[in-house]
Amino acid sequence: MKRSTRREFLKRVPPAAGAALGLAAAPYRTLAGPRTPLHQKRWRAAFGLNGFMSSASKHKKSYPIWEVLDFAQRQGFEGIELVEGWPEGPYPSPDDDRAIAALKGLYDRYGMKIFSLQTSSGEAFDPDPAARRHWIERFTGWCRLARKLGCECIGTWPGGGLRGQSLEQARERLIDSLRAAAPAAAENGLLISLEIEPPFVFHTLEDMIALVDGVGHPAFRTMYDPSHFDLMNGGRGKPEELLEKVGVHRIGYIHLTDTDGTLRDGGTSKHLPCGDGHVDIRKSLEMLWRGGYAGWIMIDAWEIPDAYDACLKGRAAIDAAQAEFSGAVPKRQ
């Protein structure tokens, strides 16, 4: 059997998707088409507002929120992950029901589910116990807000330095804080997904496994992002090797992106549209499928010049994989 290349794979978008990746450069309004009913899908496609926020900031692009939501609706995305501060202002207080209703209503009008919120967790491993308690209180509030917005997940990012402590101390403090916060997520019907990145103090296979297993709560898992896993696996274009070691059962939800195995301007892993980097996206998706992953796959367009293009290419990869692995499209011989 001839193994298809990732570019060939990304071109095999099923008819139900309404558009092939080869059309992704066309205006998005020409690409809308019928989608598979949600109840027949194992995966649900979403994208993060962080991609539009960072593209606007780094590349001076303009992404009016109404245009972003119109794009999402026309392309059949089911969900969106919010990021604090974009398009405007911080998250509402969990007690401000009027502001929450207004925010949720905006996305409801476009048929979009807010499936997750991005949050920070640097304070969760602060050496100061008061700072850690403050984070637990804030996180509990974010969980209440997420429930009111209709979320199913909540993402968190443990950035920040060691601040005079050892790595082992920081990891144990993070585990303790997350263990204390996990019940609040469960009570609000949420799954926590912790994303660690190559520049973080926590950036190894051992960290990921120790954190998930150390917290030991069914509402807590880690995040799979091929760009981060690639760099943590030597930047060889084989992030699925690290995914296999971590185990699909430890994955909360997915941030889908390609990469070239480098850091972007000394910051986090360089994100590229699916098919534009050196990762075989199909291999990652196949491992997730065979491992039983079900849930949200979010297109992460962090600092990509054209966030719309990245979303279209990521969506094409998801559609092609889901159709192939479910047997809707025969494998190419």
Contact 69, 110 (CB under 8 A): yes
Q: For the chain, what's the residue count?
A: 333
* Domain edges within the chain: 6-325
Q: Amino acid identity of 180?
A: A
Which pLDDT score, from 0 to 100, does residue 329 have? 64
Crossing angle of helices 307-325 and 49-59, rounded to 10°:
150
Contact 184, 143 (CB under 8 A): yes
Which pLDDT score, from 0 to 100, does residue 110 have? 98
3-class secondary-structure state, position 120: strand
> Two tokens at 240?
């699925």
Which pLDDT score, from 0 to 100, does residue 6 have? 41
CA distance linking residue 7 with residue 19, whole number of Å: 15
3-class secondary-structure state, position 303: coil
Q: Specify burial of residue 3 (Cβ count, 10 A radius: 0-12, 13-18, 19+).
A: exposed
Cβ atoms < 10 Å from Cβ of 201: 19
Close Cβ partners of 76 (under 8 Å, ≥ 6 residues apart): 18, 32, 33, 35, 45, 315
Q: Could you identify the residue written with the tokens 């760099």? A: 231
Q: Which residues in the chain land under pLDDT 50?
A: 1-39, 333
3-class secondary-structure state, position 70: helix
CA distance linking residue 193 with residue 156, whole number of Å: 6
Predicted TM-score of the model (pTM):
0.87
3-class secondary-structure state, position 114: strand
- Fold (topology level) of 6-325: TIM Barrel (3.20.20)
